[in-house]
Amino acid sequence: MYRSHVLICNGTGCHSGGATETTEAIKKEIEKLSLANEVAVVPTGCHGMCEMGPIIVVYPEGTFYCRVNPEDGVEIVREHLAKGRTVERLMFRESERISVASYKELPFYSKQKRIALKNCGYINPDSIEEYIGHSGYEALGKCLTSLTQEQVIEELKKSGLRGRGGGGFPTGLKWSFCAKSPGPKKYVICNADEGDPGAFMDRSILEGDPHSIIEGMAIGAYAIGADEAYIYCRAEYPLAIERLKTAIAQAEEYGLLGEKIFGTDFSFEIHIKEGAGAFVCGEETALMGSIEGKRGMPRPRPPFPAVSGLWGKPTNINNVETWANVPQIILNGGEWYASMGTAESKGTKVFALTGKVKHTGLVEVPMGVTLREIIMEIGGGILNDKKFKAVQIGGPSGGCLTEDHLDTPVSYEDLTRLGAIMGSGGLVVMDEENCMIDVAKFFLEFTQRESCGKCSPCREGTKQMLIMLDEITKGNGKIEDIKKLEELALMVKNMSLCGLGQTAPNPLLTTLKYFRHEYEAHIIEKRCPAHVCSGLITFTIHADKCKRCGLCTKNCPAKCISGDKNTAYVIDNERCVKCGTCIDKCPFKAITKE
């Protein structure tokens, strides 16, 4: 029996910050001080508050240490674990206050409700024993020994769980379609091809709790009558793939995958398919084509995958977060899950909170909480106390919402009404220094680059919209371009074959709707209000503040600043590359960007 457990985040973010080295340093110091029989070191998945990594939580106190390097880890062992004295300099600070209470009292964690992330940050993802110790595989056992296939599907329908990959289609209804499709061979697929810029929800679940995905998929396979599955994961997630392979091997060894699971007639196997990183392969028909060895390109529907999917067989596809919810729904009941959220959007949703926010990371909240609660309370507000400007929700397929929308409940219906979508759960926060036309251009560049090119509305339409946006940011836009952009965006949205093209115009349409004044400023006034678009920026040296020290001209990479001790310094804006070095080097704040 250990008196202390040291949980060390070993997700990708903390890995990049040196969590592996910190873990080893802590283990060595524990051995050195002969504490190995008293203190257990547990490498976990993502703990959530990613910008504070590497994160360490010491139980049973719940003491939260952040940004811990190997030397800090040694100090924690010597002071906290050996002497019972917390290392306050390593504890989380907020408003100059040191939190000595359990980390669960921090606003970032206290306002969350974890279901899909239930085990992330709490168990060793490479240990099936720890997963079983936290009720793992009980839901699968319950299904196989006491529930019929129809009863499992009915429980999912009661829960109101909707697909968390972006579409939001009712999961139980989707399963029922596939269950009713005739045929001796059926498949289930986990869509782990997470490609949104700034999104890492699925990756973190795979890294932190891979057995929940395996169990959820096994339950889904039993419900629809499938015996084989694929997890389609992008190859850029090596840690997730490694932990999935370990989890599958462990489940097979324990008889939880393979032949006659729990002594029943149900048999089930899972394969991993590594994708090459094409964003379009997040679309289910393109994904299936990729598994089949074809180029990942969407195909027309119907027939839908539930009727004719992988290799022409009935197939059910859900994303990682959706599968992670399934075991908890079966264990606790559909009505329990439906008691959270709103009337139409049940349960919780995981978001990757990034951008100009103080506490970036992974959060899971009940449906119906407001954007303000997520950004200002859980996220701690805007970085450097700048003014909030917008939030892009739903990734490149989503939309930009304004300060007027901060009190909007996060639900499928409310976001769609505003022209945005839930998407897979990316939340990118922007402040007053972001140009909304530049933001729309960034996301459109991504979707245009990732278009498979199969249908002309998406292939040509996204390209033309991007050209027009680029001209506007250079100061070459015309006022009639606004109407042309709107017409073109609606055409692409209504005529594209798959979800990529159908949602690609969303960032453009929402910025046109809510930030039209910025488009007009770029076109009519030839001015970027946020001072971002280089083609519309000028740098000016103010003679009354300039001390003629020469630092600006000495450091200018373009050599476009002239002047000396007797002559006023001047910037040639035709040659200026808009790098801002002169502003950074001027000690007298004599240079401004306008």
- Are residues 475 and 580 both part of a single domain? no
**DSSP string spanning 514-559?**
H-HHHHHHHHTS---TTS--GGG--EEE-TTT-----HHHHH-TT-
Catalogue the long-range contacts made by 100-104 (C-beta closer than 8 Å, 24 or more residues apart): 100/63, 101/62, 102/61, 102/62, 102/63, 102/64, 103/57, 103/62, 103/63, 103/64, 104/62
- Are residues 205 and 300 both part of a single domain? yes
Largest CA distance in the chain: 93
- Are residues 192 and 74 both part of a single domain? no
Number of CB atoms found within 10 A of residue 59's CB: 16
Cα-Cα-Cα-Cα torsion 401, 404, 406, 411, nearest 10 degrees, comes to -60
- pTM given for the model: 0.92
Query: 306 exposed, middle or buried (CB, 10 Å; 0-12, 13-18, 19+)?
Result: buried
Number of CB atoms found within 10 A of residue 485's CB: 23
pLDDT score for 277: 87
**How many domains does the chain divide into?**
5
- Are residues 385 and 505 both part of a single domain? no
Look at residues 340, 331, 312 and name the one whose alpha carbon lies nearest to residue 162.
340
Q: Which two tokens stand for residue 424?
A: 């897979």
Within a domain: 412: yes
- Are residues 141 and 288 both part of a single domain? yes
Look at residues 397, 471, 388 and name the one whose alpha carbon lies nearest to residue 432.
388
Query: Strands, E, within 310-466: which ranges?
Result: 315-319, 348-355, 361-366, 388-393, 399-402, 426-431
- Are residues 383 and 322 both part of a single domain? no
Q: Which two tokens stand for residue 393?
A: 């929700």
Give the number of residues written for the chain. 594
pLDDT score for 106: 84
Cα-Cα-Cα-Cα torsion 18, 23, 25, 29, nearest 10 degrees, comes to 160
Residue 96 DSSP code:
T
- Are residues 411 and 452 both part of a single domain? no
CB–CB of 530/448 below 8 Å?
Answer: no
pLDDT score for 196: 84
Q: What are phi and psi of 430, to 5 degrees?
A: -125, 150
pLDDT score for 100: 46
- Are residues 516 and 550 both part of a single domain? no
- Are residues 286 and 353 both part of a single domain? no
Element (H, E) at 581: helix 581-585
CB–CB of 321/201 below 8 Å?
Answer: yes
Within a domain: 119: no
Look at residues 450, 495, 508 and name the one whose alpha carbon lies nearest to residue 193.
450
- Are residues 283 and 329 both part of a single domain? yes
CATH code for the domain of 248: 3.40.50.11540
The domain boundary residue, chosen from 523, 546, 577:
523
Within a domain: 299: yes
Residue 410 DSSP code:
-
Give how far Cα 483 sits from Cα of 144, 487, 511, Å.
58, 6, 13
Q: Which domain holds residue 545?
A: 538-593
Mean pLDDT by runs of 10 across the 594 residues of the chain is 94 92 97 96 94 93 94 97 94 62 79 95 97 97 97 98 90 97 96 88 96 98 98 95 98 97 96 93 94 93 95 97 98 97 95 95 96 95 95 90 95 91 90 96 94 93 96 94 96 93 94 96 94 88 89 91 86 88 91 86
Within a domain: 342: no
- Are residues 333 and 216 both part of a single domain? yes
- Are residues 417 and 553 both part of a single domain? no
